[in-house]
Amino acid sequence: MPILKVAIIGGGHIADQNHIPALKALGDRVEIVSICSRVKEKARALADKHQIPFAYDKAAEMYAGEGRPDIVVICTANNLHYPFAIQALENDCHVFCEKPPALSAEQASEMAELAREKGKILAYNLQLRQTPEFTLIKKCREEGTLGRIYHIKANYLRRRGIPGWGNFTNKSIQGGGALMDLGVHILDLALEMLDYQMPDRIVANTYDFLGKAGGKGLMGEWNPDSFEVEDACFAHLSFPDNSSISLSASFALNMKAEKDINLEVFGTNGGAVYKPLSLFTEIGSELANIDFPHIEEADIQLKNTIAFLDACEGKHSNIANAEQGAILQKIVSKIYESAGS
């Protein structure tokens, strides 16, 4: 396969610390040729730091210039995912986009439709899929160890984790708060366990009590006067086959632990907890708990980038694809709709 040329749109932390190192580790498959950021000096500084030849402040100039890519990685604020993805697809590029897919279900569906029309890969960086624990839970499901999965508890909770920087509390830029920033990660895992069905019933509540109160948390101080999003979201999703998901996401919640990122899976033959990974089943007519003390850490950003490149090359891949992204965004929109009603 020829080496694919990559452009990064967005010059912040996620590009610098996540995507660029992963892509540079795959130099036998890709070459980063361009950085594009609204501030030309910022783009040039990041390009120089990583020995990337071209820097732009306008994507249109990038597509018309020497730094024209085959792949675009979108690392911008949420409100820019849709326009930059559409522009990249219209320029016949594959797209690897940060989460969430977009600000609305309509935008995510339009992105997926254009990717289909263009025959290009559109995928999302929901990298918790690549953890060894989740990989093993999925294998247990496929081998029948869990039986029929009928309920999942999905948590991505922080005790006091409202970011005191950036646009995380700005609704027009981010589209939402804890659900959009954190909940989508764990909801993606739960939906993957249930074959990415669309629920037929959703009941949800969102809250902003702690965000509006202000104060100092574990991620700095935030301004309560400009806090426009939810600090906590709780939703129950029911599916046509009578399976269900209970989803909890929070920036701030009065709980004991500093954070709780977990998935509990309940099946007819067994259950599982995501972290630390354990299975609960019956062996020889006796109840049994099975632990996995020797699971090694994995570079999940690198593994998810490999999964994306595999998809671009027509290989089997477990990347979060355009169709799943559209379903995920539709569910997020319906959760907010339910909470608002």
> Would you state the pLDDT for residue 182?
98
Distance CA 310, CA 322 (A): 15
More confident residue, 272 or 214: 272
For residues 78-91, average pLDDT = 98
1: pLDDT confidence band, cut at 50, 70 and 90? confident
Most distant CA pair in the chain, distance? 68
> Would you state the pLDDT for residue 22?
98
Q: Encoding tokens for residue 76?
A: 């911008």
Please report, to the nearest 10 degrees, the dihedral formed by the alpha carbons of residues 182, 24, 97, 52 taken in order: 120
Q: What is the mean pLDDT of the chain?
A: 97
Q: What is the pLDDT of residues 131-152, one digit of tens each?
A: 999 999 999 999 999 999 999 9
Cα–Cα distances in angstroms (integers) from residue 231 to residues 78, 203, 250, 330, in the given order: 17, 18, 5, 20
Task: Give 132's contacts (C-beta < 8 A, 6+ positions apart).
Answer: 295, 296, 298
Q: What is the pLDDT of residues 222-257, one digit of tens each?
A: 999 999 999 999 999 999 999 999 999 999 999 999
Q: What is the DSSP letter of 153?
A: E
315: pLDDT confidence band, cut at 50, 70 and 90? very high
> Would you state the pLDDT for residue 220?
86
